Structure 1
Amino acid sequence: MNTRNERRCRAREAARSKVTVETSGSAPTSRSSSPRRESERRLFRSASATSPRILTSIRALFQRRRGQSVSSLQEDQLFPVGVCLSARLPVRALHVLEAHEQGINAVRFNSSSELLATGGTDRAVKLWDVRAGSLTHRATLDGSTEGVTCIEFDPKGPRVLAASYDKSALLWRLDDPVPKVTLTGHSRRVTAARFGLNLQVVTGSADRTVRLWDLQRACCVQVVEVPSYCSDLICTGYCIISGHYDSKIRVWDTRAVRCIQELPAHGKVTSLDISPDHCHLLSCCRDDCLQLIDLRGRSYERVCFRADGFKCGSDSTKAVISPDGCFLAAGSADGAVYIWNVSTGNLETRLPDKHSSSISAVSWSPSGEYVVSVDLSRRAVLWRDV
């Protein structure tokens, strides 16, 4: 296994220049440069998928220079660069437990990889200490009146955020089982809740809106109407990426609060994830395919990952990128975890037998050491390489 991991590390650089197997077409050549203000003004006249100015602007949202202002310092603190050099490929289950009273919909590690959160149909958010290859229950966070759909730890402090079927998003301190903030205003279930810049939270909902919230005032400060059910969100800097049931992925600049790019997906989008370097976007769709989209180029080149037996089990199945960017992991309707190698495009391993129902979500620890999978029959499984 160590030899295998070493080979992966050596192959990692080759992955940067790997030729993709699917592309969305070539972009037209950019016209001569114009003053910055005029370029930004023209940017919002169109959301053309091939406009070089839009592509440049989107890349700028992901690759802003650091240390130039107070806001950029806040951004650096909120979105730290990952430190995992090499993720371990899991091969066996270390701990299997019935973690909730009903099905589990969401799972997430914190930034230190020492704490895990799970959210279930039983309305509970549970915290688990990750120690010596096992999960030990620490606390249960109450407050949601219906099932939990999404979980995220605050990278700036001891807080956890959850989205709920009860049309709200809730924020807890890790040492208090009572919600510190409850964000209400959506008219249907909240499917995604993410931390944004400057003490903001961004939520997406089945009500076809994306909302920005001020945590200090516990109020909604912006409502963005979207064309379709929003299934998942990615927030990074001033950029929001939303996945939708109409088979589209949309990119938003929060400063203008307007869609600046619309990308065709390959089916109803169930989840999104972004690579540690913010250069690649992962989408999981109901057509049983994962796609890795290169955000750096003008044509948004993409690679499709499939495997015999892999089936996306629900409209909210969540797939992830490993913290070193070398692997993709997703759970299947057959109860197995599938892991693909980004460099080769091939299925690296399949982890079967520990789940008796469809896997709803997986999470890879930021340290690269563990993978946790959860399913619709209450079970959580902790995986590792040895």
Structure 2
Amino acid sequence: MAAWSSSGDPSSRPPWRRHIGRQLRARDHREKSAFQELIQQYNKLLEKSSLLKELTETLPTDPLVFPAGQVHRLRASTSGSNLLEDAATQQREVEDIKTFNGKLACDACSLKHQVEEQDKKLSEQNSRVKALWERTALCCAERDTLEENVNVKVEANAELKQEYDLLLCRRQVVEETLQKEELEAQTVLEQLNMLKAVRAENQNKINERREHHSWMTHRKNALRKTVSDSGYDPTSQILVSVCWSNAIPIIDFHLNASSLEHSSVTLSGSLESVKKQRDRSLSVPHGPAKVIEVFKKLFDFSPKKEQESLYTEQTFYLPSSICVVCGLPDKVVSSKEIHDSEIHAVKFSPNSRVVATGGTDRVVKLWEVTGGILQEYQTLEGSRGGITSIEFDPSGLYVLAASFDGAAHLWKLDGKARESLTGHSNKVTAARFKMGSNRAVTGSKDRTVKEWDLQKAACVRSISVTSYCTDVVCCDSCIISGHCDKKIRFWDSRSESCIKEVTLEDKITSLFLNQDQTQLLSCSRDDTLSLIDLRLGNILQEFRAEGFKCGCDWTKAILSPDGSYALAGSVDGTIFVWNVLKGCLERSMSGQHSSSVNAVTWSLSGSYVVSVDRGRKAVLWSEF
């Protein structure tokens, strides 16, 4: 600094040094100007005080020290003025001035102290300014380096931009070529599909003509044939007539039952053709094709044929009467323990002759209702978890059950497990057939609803939901699922979109669809049954009763076959019956169950109701 100050021209100094000099001069001017007036006043006071001091020293303040002659002369010289009073006044002024001088001295000391503190701060700021200047120099050097790097990157990016523009032009050319080729491929594919459709239509016409000609030939041959035993007996003759209605054979037969033991059948040609036609008509699981199968098995007297097969056909295949008007069940015809542990599900078969039950003992039991008694017919095994729901297919040949092992199991009534539908990651809470026996829908606690192809045992559709599913039902146009988040969701059969939602007061425990698929009955944990109109999408009625409480999260509520009554079991074992038309409680039945009733089922014939509880008991009710 000394070397720099001794140098010549100030313009040759660095800028920061000139800046510091300017700051010091400004500080000196600012601090001097603030106290300049105070210093001037202080100097004036000092001058006045020195003058008064001299005056007071020359004039004695005590009048006693003056001789009488001097006092007389002083009084005479002052032309009668009171010098003593003037002296006292001046003495007081001097004291006031001294006091004021003392205050000014104190203020000067404090100001001096402040100046010293400001000097310290200034020195600290000077040191910080020096450090900042050094840091600024480093930052400038880094900035220069970064600018050089930026320039290099800009040049590299410019080169890459040129390459990118070239590639973009090439991509546009390739996309245009691809679009042209896709349009050409789509045109060719459409032409091929049209050609295939024309060929398929022509082939179908040829096949129809061939089948029509073949069936006409078989019909003529069947009409010419008769069936009799070795010794002709007119009472044992079987007359067979084949008529046609929409290309479906309907066989009417008359049989004298007393001659079955001696009959020998020679209808191999006509029955074989009927069998082929039945195999081609897989979409018709019952009706005329079923009658043909019964007719063929009835007259098959092969030594290997067992009498039990005939019993099976008569018991499970033949349809039962459908109830038009239901009566109220009020009579207990059977009550017994049928499982080793808690029972969760019960279901009547379509012919009202068989009841299936399942629970935590991992088996499904089939019971035959004969003479008002439940007789065990078959036990279906294969599940590794408890059974949560049971469903029969429309033909009554297959049983589908949901299980806690994360799968749904399909059995044939001969006791053999046909398929296991695996794919859920948690308990399967519901399983239902959809539009016949070839499709099924399952709901699970893994928050999914899945649709299955039973012929392939493969999942063809999976719907993800925000809440786990407690029950599902299927109608012709949609899938309906109930969930723990208090909502009933309606899913389009052709997509995964939810087309409608109905929100209840508490989580759903079960869903039940009436026979004509116009009304839906739901049961929820707020001890309420809700009847929903599927055509309008609103709640028609709500059923409650004093003492009715849902016993668990899978309590099942049902409608009667004619839709006139709603039925559900309570936690105390009482069964409540509501009149749907009147909207009131019709009847309550108690005394048979000692624990919570989990599920109930009503036969399609309207004759029987079966209720099952947590205490392993099943009760068969009848209206007679």
Report the TM range for the smaller structure's normalisation.
0.7 to 0.9
SS in 2 for 1:252: strand
Paired with 2:600 and 2:396, the residues of 1 have a C-alpha distance of: 23
Which residue of structure 2 aligns with residue 109 of structure 1? 348
Q: Residue 75 of structure 1: CA displacement?
A: 9.4
**Structure 1 counterpart of 2:520:** 281
1:75/1:197 contact within 8 Å kept:
no
181 and 105 in structure 1: CA distance in 2 versus 1, 3 angstrom threshold: same
Residues 168 and 327 of structure 1, relative CA distance in 2, 3 Å threshold: same
- CA shift, 1:74, in A, is 5.1
Give the distance between the partners of 1:361 and 1:253, measured in 2 at CA: 28
1:319 equivalent to 2:521? Answer: no
SS of the aligned residue for 1:180 comes to strand
Q: How does 1:288-299 map to 2 (within 5 A)?
A: 288-297=527-536
Contact 2:520–2:534 under 8 Å retained in 1? yes
Quick one: which of 150, 156, 163 aligns to 2:402? 163
Partner of residue 545, structure 2:
307
1: CA distance, partners of 2:529 / 2:370: 31
Counterpart amino acid of residue 382 in structure 1: L
Instruction: Indicate if the aligned counterparts of 2:408 and 2:428 stay in contact, CA closer than 8 A.
Output: yes
Q: How does 1:111-260 map to 2 (within 5 A)?
A: 111-176=350-415, 178-197=416-435, 199-260=438-499
Partner of residue 374 from structure 1, selected from 578, 591, 612: 612
TM-score if structure 1 supplies the norm length?
Answer: 0.78
* Residue type at the aligned position of 1:317: T
- TM-aligned CA deviation for residue 77 of structure 1: 7.2
Change (3 A) 1:251 1:75: farther
> How far does residue 266 in structure 1 lie from its aligned partner after superposition?
2.5
Q: Which amino acid in the other structure matches residue 97 of structure 1? A: K
| Alpha-carbon distance in structure 2 between the residues aligned to 1:76 and 1:174 | 15
Counting helix residues as a fraction of each chain, which structure ranks higher? 2
CA contact (8 A) 1:103 1:121 kept: yes
Asked whether the 8 Å contact 2:432–2:442 carries over to 1, the reply is yes
Report Cα offsets for 1:78-130 as digits up to 9, x if no partner: 9x9x9321112011211001010000000000111000000011001000001
Aligned partners of 1:338 and 1:364: how far apart in 2?
A: 14
Matched letter for residue 443 of structure 2: G
Q: What is the identity, as a one-letter code, of the residue corresponding to 2:617?
A: R
Q: Which residue of 2 aligns with 1:342?
A: 580
Compared with structure 1, are the counterparts of its residues 157 and 133 closer, same or farther at alpha carbon in structure 2 (3 Å cutoff)?
closer
The partner residue of 1:353 within 591, 607, 624 is 591
Structure-2 separation of matches of 1:110 and 1:161: 12
Aligned to 1:83: 322
2:350/2:396 contact within 8 Å kept: no
2: CA distance between counterparts of 1:113 and 1:367?
Answer: 6
Partners of 1:150 and 1:257 lie apart in 2 by: 24
2:571 to 328, 333, 341: 333
Tell me, in whole angstroms, the C-alpha distance in 1 between the residues paired with 2:285 and 2:492: 18
**Aligned structure 1 segments of 4 or more residues deviating by more than 2 angstroms:** 73-78
Partners of 2:543 and 2:283 lie apart in 1 by 36
Q: Aligned in 2, Cα 1:186/1:286: closer, same or farther, shift over 3 Å?
A: same
Residues 237 and 74 of structure 1: CA distance in aligned 2, closer, same or farther (over 3 Å): farther
The 8 Å contact of residues 338 and 351 in structure 1, kept in 2 or not, is answered as yes
Note the alpha carbon deviations across 1:1-53, whole angstroms, 9 max, x for none: xxxxxxxxxxxxxxxxxxxxxxxxxxxxxxxxxxxxxxxxxxxxxxxxxxxxx
Whose Rg is larger?
2
Cα distance in 2 between the residues matched to 1:155 and 1:266: 33
Work out whether residues 208 and 230 of structure 1, in 8 Å CA contact, stay in contact via their aligned partners in 2: yes
Distance 2:589 2:352 in 1: 21
* Alpha-carbon separation, structure 1, partners of 2:472 and 2:283: 20
SS at match of 2:538: coil
Maintained 8 Å contact 1:88/1:384: no
Distance 2:286 2:517 in 1: 16
**1:385 to partner: Cα distance:** 1.6
Q: Could you tell me how far 1:329 is from its partner in structure 2?
A: 0.2
Q: Indicate conservation of the 8 Å contact 1:148/1:162, yes or no.
A: yes
Following the alignment from structure 1 to structure 2, what is the Cα–Cα distance between the partners of residues 276 and 254?
Answer: 19
Structure 1 residue 277: deviation in Å? 1.6
Structure 2 CA distance for partners of 1:179 and 1:76, relative to 1, 3 Å: closer
Kindly state the Cα deviation for residue 179 of structure 1 after the two structures are TM-superposed.
Answer: 1.2
Mapped contact 1:74–1:197 kept (Cα < 8 A): no
- What residue identity is the alignment partner of 2:518? C
Q: Is 1:264 aligned with 2:530? A: no
Determine the structure 1 residue equivalent to 2:303.
none
Shift of 1:238: 3.3
Letter in 2 for 1:144: S
Quote the Cα distance in structure 2 between the aligned partners of 1:379 and 1:228.
32
C-alpha distance in structure 1 between counterparts of 2:476 and 2:430, whole Å: 17
Structure 1: stretches of 5+ with no match in the other structure:
1-66, 68-72
**Percent identity of paired positions between Structure 1 and Structure 2:** 52
SS of residue in 1 equivalent to 2:452: strand
Q: Match of 1:10?
A: none
Asked if the contact 2:322–2:606 (Cα under 8 Å) also holds between the matched residues in 1, the reply is: no
Distance 2:462 2:517 in 1: 25
2-structure distance, mates of 1:311, 1:74: 43
Q: C-alpha distance in 2, partners of 1:291/1:247? A: 12
CA RMSD of aligned residues (A): 1.9
Report the Cα distance in structure 2 between the residues aligned to 1:327 and 1:373, rounded to whole angstroms: 15
Is this contact kept in 1: 2:349–2:396, CA < 8 A? no
Give 1:249 deviation, angstroms: 0.2
CA distance in 1 between counterparts of 2:283 and 2:492 reads: 17
Q: Which ranges of structure 2 fall in alignment gaps of 5 or more residues?
A: 1-245, 247-281, 288-318
Once residues 154 and 116 of structure 1 are traced to their aligned partners in structure 2, the CA distance between those partners, rounded to angstroms, is 13
Count of matched residue pairs: 311
